[in-house]
């Protein structure tokens, strides 16, 4: 006889993680005072998902200098992508969230930026669970209050790269 346990819960939620790279990087650098500090996605993503399925991971970042190592790591480990933004990530991230709203159960926005308050409210009105993951000190209170859940990013979710000290070049003597 096949017995089923009545206290088991099968979680089958689909989650999209949308990262405002500039905001999160700035927050972490402010916390540590170290511009070489980066997110540890290998620890962070499983914690954020908490037994739910990952549908999409998109890292939005302003500027053209995006680490190829980050791009490769997100692609190979999470089928994620990095999207360079012309200016701020706010509009591209908002557009992507709106596109995904009917395809996922939960959207996790990694940003403490108060510009996302209206997006959070809209997504929730569409029936999407919205969670915020950010450094508490640099996160807007209203953003935390409006979200369904807040994930605090602490030192356990980042690491510092060794600083690159470039040797001073000595000019060659001319003959």
Please give the backbone phi and psi of residue 138, each rounded to the nearest 5 degrees, phi first.
-110, 20
The tens digit of pLDDT for each residue in 73-85 reads: 898 999 999 998 8
Residue with tokens 């003959």: 175
Question: What is the DSSP secondary structure assignment for residue 114, as one 8-state letter?
Answer: G
Extents of the domains making up the chain:
14-158
Topology, domain 14-158 = Rossmann fold (3.40.50)
Q: What is the pLDDT along the chain (175 residues), one digit of tens a residue?
A: 555 566 777 778 999 999 999 999 999 999 999 988 989 999 999 999 998 999 999 999 987 677 888 889 898 999 999 998 888 899 999 999 999 999 999 999 999 999 999 999 999 999 999 999 999 999 999 999 999 999 999 999 999 877 666 555 665 665 5
- Dist. CA 157–CA 20, nearest whole Å: 16
Residue 16 in contact with residue 55, Cβ under 8 Å?
yes
Q: Which long-range contacts (CB under 8 A, 24 or more apart) does 97-102 make?
A: 97/16, 97/18, 97/123, 98/122, 98/123, 100/16, 100/55, 100/56, 101/126, 101/128, 102/126
What pLDDT does residue 161 have?
Answer: 78
pLDDT tens-digit map of 48-98: 999 899 999 999 998 767 788 888 989 899 999 999 888 889 999 999 999
Query: For the whole model, what pTM was predicted?
Result: 0.86
1: CB partners within 8 A, 6+ apart:
none
């Amino acid at each position: 006889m096949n017995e089923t346990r009545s206290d088991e819960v099968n979680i089958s939620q689909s989650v999209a993680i949308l990262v405002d790279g500039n905001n999160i990087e700035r927050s972490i650098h402010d916390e540590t005072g170290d511009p070489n500090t980066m997110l540890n996605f290998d620890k962070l993503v499983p914690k954020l998902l908490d037994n739910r399925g990952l549908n999409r991971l998109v890292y939005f970042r302003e500027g053209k200098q995006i680490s190829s190592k980050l791009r490769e790591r997100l692609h190979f480990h999470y089928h994620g992508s990095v999207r360079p933004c012309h200016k701020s990530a706010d509009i591209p991230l908002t557009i992507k969230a709106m596109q995904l709203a009917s395809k996922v159960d939960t959207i996790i926005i990694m940003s403490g930026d108060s510009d996302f308050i209206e997006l959070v409210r809209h997504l929730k009105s569409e029936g999407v669970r919205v969670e915020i993951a950010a450094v508490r000190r640099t996160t807007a209170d209203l953003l935390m209050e409006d979200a369904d859940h807040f994930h605090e990013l602490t030192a356990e979710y980042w690491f510092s790269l060794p600083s690159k000290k470039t040797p001073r070049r000595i000019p060659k003597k001319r003959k």
